Amino acid sequence: MALHIETPLLESRPLSLASGRSVWLKMDALQPPGSFKIRGIGAACEHHAGNGKKRFVSSSGGNAGIAVAYAGRRLSIPVSVFVPETTSEWAKSLIRQEGAEVFVHGASWQEANERALQAVDAEAAFIHPFDDPLLWTGHATMIDEAVRAGVSFDAVVLSVGGGGLMAGVAEGLERNGLRDIPIIAVETEGAASLAASVEAGKLTELPAITSIATSLGARKVSQRAFEIARTRPVDCVTVDDRAAVGACMRFLDDHRVLVEPACGAALAVAYTHADRLARYERVLIVVCGGATASIGQLQAWQAR
């Protein structure tokens, strides 16, 4: 049995009214570890367990680390998560809560990641947060579910960090005969590495991440994500942190589910940038979720 669950698909009255079209929500915020990431990471971990791996290693202090920890607990395989000193106590406690061991190393993700790679031996599998075909095939199941539910849509709105979610959705659309359906790829200002690459016409690395949406904080998207943006209909949208946090607060009132600004970015397209949806009648938004933001943190961001 898969490690992810089949999530609800809801027609949202508040988001439909806000955006002037029919909006459907794929509620992956309800996955047990709090985000869509368990779809791909669960599939990758099951694959490696089947190949005899005895340990999983991750270098994400965010939702990928939480998902690997969750998968390891479910599969009875020990997990080591290497995180930088900047990772919050809250995020570390979420990883430990799943029974994984947390190692703090270095000032940034780069250094934590290097140490994680040193910890990988023949018995261990390294689980990348976004750049792995096993992940994309797993993420694609959310489109299988939406199609199986019989809901038709003419665009998919999702957020982009390193582009694993987008690569998975593109694969899901392709394998369901929907390759022409546009993807609205949303990033926050200060984390818009896909938009920067598309604009430059080549894979581009941002000098730094300055958005509060840390789950979108890949300085460079994967080669695959960039290829997808060049070879199928993808529309890049950038929203500011204020819009992303505002969308989280409105969504909490509207649907009583708390999500990170990384997810709020996609919701903000319906709430405040509906002009970007002008060509579409029935939009599917991937509510990717995220477990690392609290209500207090959202309120503090909003007050700034």
Ligand X SMILES: *Cc1c(COP(=O)(O)O)cnc(C)c1O
Residues forming the site for ligand X (CB under 6 A): 35, 37, 62-63, 130, 159-166, 215-216, 218, 260, 262-263, 288-290
Burial class (CB in 10 A: 0-12, 13-18, 19+), 253: exposed
Q: How far is the CB of 122 from ligand X (least distance, A)?
A: 28
Measuring CA to CA, how many Å separate 149 from each of 131, 144, 287?
29, 9, 17
Give the residue from 108, 238, 226, 239 showing the smallest Cα distance to 163. Answer: 226
- Residue 22 vs 57, nearer CB to ligand X: 57
Q: How far is the CB of 257 from ligand X (least distance, A)?
A: 12
- How far is the C-alpha of 178 from the C-alpha of 254, rounded, in Å? 30
Give the residue from 287, 250, 279 showing the smallest Cα distance to 21. Answer: 279
- How far is the C-alpha of 215 from the C-alpha of 109, rounded, in Å? 12
Q: How far is the CB of 164 from ligand X (least distance, A)?
A: 3
Q: Sheet containing 101-104: which strands, arranged edge to edge?
A: 101-104, 79-83, 55-58, 124-126
- How far is the C-alpha of 275 from the C-alpha of 20, rounded, in Å? 10
Burial class (CB in 10 A: 0-12, 13-18, 19+), 16: middle
Radius of gyration, CA atoms only, the chain = 18
User: Are the beta carbons of 145 and 26 closer than 8 angstroms?
Assistant: yes
- Residue 146 vs 216, nearer CB to ligand X: 216
Q: How far is the CB of 131 from ligand X (least distance, A)?
A: 9
- Residue 27 vs 160, nearer CB to ligand X: 160
- How far is the C-alpha of 74 from the C-alpha of 245, rounded, in Å? 32
Q: How far is the CB of 302 from ligand X (least distance, A)?
A: 18
- How far is the C-alpha of 108 from the C-alpha of 261, rounded, in Å? 21
- Residue 118 vs 210, nearer CB to ligand X: 210
Q: How far is the CB of 20 from ligand X (least distance, A)?
A: 25
Q: How far is the CB of 54 from ligand X (least distance, A)?
A: 26
Structure tokens at 161: 């960090």
- Residue 283 vs 293, nearer CB to ligand X: 293
Q: How far is the CB of 172 from ligand X (least distance, A)?
A: 13
- Residue 15 vs 167, nearer CB to ligand X: 167
CB atoms within 10 A of CB 68: 33
- Residue 72 vs 161, nearer CB to ligand X: 161
Give the residue from 80, 32, 83, 34 showing the smallest Cα distance to 53. Answer: 80
- Residue 22 vs 263, nearer CB to ligand X: 263
